[in-house]
Amino acid sequence: MVMYEKTAEHFGQKFKDLPEGHLLVNLGPSHPATHGILQNVIQIDGERVVDTESVIGYVHRCFEKLGERYDYNQFLVCTDRMNYVSTPLNNIGWILTVEKMMQIQVPDRVTYVRMIISELSRIMDHIICNGIMGVDLGAFSGLLHLFHHRENIYQILEKLTGARLTTTFCRVGGMERDIYPEFQSEIKIILKGLKPALDEFEELLIRNKIFNERTKGIGGISAERAIAYGFSGPNLRAAGVPWDVRKDDPYMFYDQVNFDIPVGEDGSALDRTLVRMEEMRQSMRIIEQLIDGIPEGPYHADVPHAFLPPKDRVYNNMEELIYHFKIIMHGVKVPPGEYYHATEAANGELGFYVVSEGEKSPWRVHVRRPCFWYYQAFPEMVKGGLLADTIATMSSLNVIAGELDC
Amino acid sequence: MNETITQFLNSRFPDSLLPQRDINTNLLFFSIRKEKLPDVVLALKEELGFHFLNDLTSVDWLGKREPRFEVLYLLRSPKHGHFRVQLRVPVGEGESVPSLSNIFPAANWPEREVFDLMGIPFSGHPRMERLIMPDNFVGHPLRKDYPLEGPGQDYLIEDLLTIHVKEDITE
């Protein structure tokens, strides 16, 4: 077995006519500023970036192939590992796709809780993105300031699902378990603390002169180029295009809650940060509209062929025992067909394309992950800038290696 | 919207459309001859406002359908309420598909990914290389006939287990 790694020498072919004084710099594969294991080979002239070459694939785990081996509930575990900063968003995207294919209508209670968890995850993700961006540019206190609030959200997830990072939150037809009694009051307390913290973070970091000058007008991308590169989510909105899957192609109850879509001007690193700041506030607004109105009722739909029946019915009822056995041994039964379902994950449009042939496992699973489409525009965005600006650009794009490689 | 696009494609590209099989799907889809793909996509982009390449992927129908592969393009039109339309391009073993990277810069990496993992080359692509797997990797892992234990192993995991069990017993 020969270990294979791409080095700057490997790109000698591409950069073979290196002019006098130009240097090749390896950024990554494993560098604190690359947000995962990915590599950039950067050709510099003094401090100016002349050309870059991005190498991905260091964390590729063949999730799409795994999807063809696992059954529909088992693949949920894989979705945890995609965007590991906001796992419930991936879980919910996958489960909604399967439920649409099986035409299962879940109770309102489930949808409410899923929406609340989605928005909490979005806040979590944006805290990491903006906070780590400060760290990459040399400001550590901003992240520390907000990390406490992120920790609070993790504690909610831990109480709700039993895990912090790999939540595996939903099941086809419902949730893993019902919410705990203090769920609403605890989230209200978190939101109360988060509001002033966001304002303080903005004063601390974004109005900071150094941060401002290092991000303003850096790594910009125009609206046309962003659309041409398939951008979505906060990075596209920062370029001035008000697209949001939650508004344009509503799923769950997003067409019934009020929220605004923040839009930037020139798509620079500062704009992307500001859009994410505002999105956190809008997420809080959505949660506030939902938190008091969680309807009473069961935490799963009445679909014994898809959702594990309650234990007392399994032990006393032959039908339910058979359903229990069938789900455990053969998985849920999805009718043949092909389905694309898009959700707005923290990074942009997360789409699952599933081809079912009516068997235990899907015939083909494809994930349209938002990071993959951003990162191919990276060379264009940093060309002509300073070497230090590549760090600001990459941090503000929120490249997450687990999602990029999948 | 469905009728508009169907009429548009039927009147403009009657000889590019292939007969479609019935699929249970939530998308409007058209099967297209692979030679005509750039023309159809360009017309959809320029005249109907499908500016956004939403997704690009491929399916291996080994043992189910002929030709073996299908490359799927998902286009989105912001002008028409973010309507999505899917173009399906059947491809046989060893055939190549015209690249869309000069129409959509976004198609660059997804096409390389399809080439890398499924082994469908795209003609006219500026840099048709592996993207995710290492360059010295053998085979295309998303194909249905790819050996799951990796190349070069002629035994199954189950065989390996039984070998070890037998060794334990004889010792």
pLDDT tens track for A319-350: 999 999 988 888 888 999 999 999 999 988 99
Which residues make Cβ contacts (< 8 Å) with residue A266, sequence separation at least 6?
A: A217, A220, A222, A239, A240
> How far apart, in whole angstroms, are the C-alpha atoms of residue A272 and residue A280?
13
Q: Where exactly are the structural domains of chain B? A: 1-161
Q: Does A229 touch chain B (CB under 8 A)?
A: yes
Whether the pLDDT of residue B166 is over 60: the answer is no
Q: Does A369 touch chain B (CB under 8 A)?
A: no
Identify any residues that bridge with B89 across adjacent strands, giving them in sequence order.
B71
B171 to chain A, closest Cα gap in Å = 31
> How far apart, in whole angstroms, are the C-alpha atoms of residue B60 and residue B82?
28
Report in angstroms the alpha-carbon separations of B8 from B26, B48, B49, B61: 20, 9, 13, 29
Q: Do B81 and A230 touch (CB under 8 A)?
A: no
Question: Nearest 5°: phi and psi at A339?
Answer: -145, 135
For A209, the 3-state DSSP assignment is helix
Q: Do A339 and B26 touch (CB under 8 A)?
A: yes
Q: Does A351 touch chain B (CB under 8 A)?
A: yes
In this prediction, residue B164 has a pLDDT band, given cuts at 50, 70 and 90, of: very low
Cis-peptide into B147, omega within 30 deg: no
Cis-peptide into A29, omega within 30 deg: yes
| pLDDT at position B59 | 92
> How far apart, in whole angstroms, are the C-alpha atoms of residue A45 and residue A275?
33
pLDDT tens column, B29-61: 999 998 889 999 999 898 888 888 999 999 999
Whether the pLDDT of residue B133 is over 70: the answer is yes
In this prediction, residue B114 has a pLDDT band, given cuts at 50, 70 and 90, of: very high
Residues A374, A27 contacting (CB under 8 angstroms): no
For A20, the 3-state DSSP assignment is coil
List the 326-345 stretch of A: residues with Cβ below 8 A of B: 335-342
In this prediction, residue A13 has a pLDDT band, given cuts at 50, 70 and 90, of: low
Residues B93, B119 contacting (CB under 8 angstroms): no
A405 chain-B contacts, CB cut-off 8 A: 132
User: What is the rounded average pLDDT of the residues A47-73?
Assistant: 87
Nearest to A229 among B57, B106, B134 (CB): B106
User: What is the rounded average pLDDT of the residues A182-188?
Assistant: 91
> How far apart, in whole angstroms, are the C-alpha atoms of residue A172 and residue A92?
10
In this prediction, residue A177 has a pLDDT band, given cuts at 50, 70 and 90, of: confident
- What fold, for B1-161? Beta Polymerase; domain 2 (3.30.460)
In this prediction, residue B157 has a pLDDT band, given cuts at 50, 70 and 90, of: low
> How far apart, in whole angstroms, are the C-alpha atoms of residue A93 and residue A76?
10
Q: Does A249 touch chain B (CB under 8 A)?
A: yes
Query: Token pair for residue A314?
Result: 């399994």
Indicate if ipTM > 0.90. Answer: no
- Mean residue pLDDT of chain B comes to 83
Q: Do B74 and A340 touch (CB under 8 A)?
A: yes
In this prediction, residue B162 has a pLDDT band, given cuts at 50, 70 and 90, of: low
> Tokens 């390449």 label which residue?
B53
Chain A and chain B share a number of CB contacts under 8 A equal to 90
A402 to chain B, closest Cα gap in Å = 13
pLDDT above 90: percentage of residues in chain B: 25
| pLDDT at position A136 | 87
Q: Does B82 touch chain A (CB under 8 A)?
A: yes
> How far apart, in whole angstroms, are the C-alpha atoms of residue B110 and residue A56?
13
Sequence-separated contacts (24+) of A136-140 with Cβ below 8 Å: A136/A32, A136/A33, A136/A391, A136/A392, A136/A395, A137/A210, A137/A211, A137/A214, A137/A215, A137/A391, A137/A392, A137/A395, A138/A210, A139/A205, A139/A208, A139/A210, A139/A211
A337-345 β-sheet, strand order: A337-345, A348-356, A364-368
| pLDDT at position A353 | 93
B133 chain-A contacts, CB cut-off 8 A: 57, 60
Give this prediction's pTM: 0.89
Chain B residue nearest residue A375, CA to CA: B109
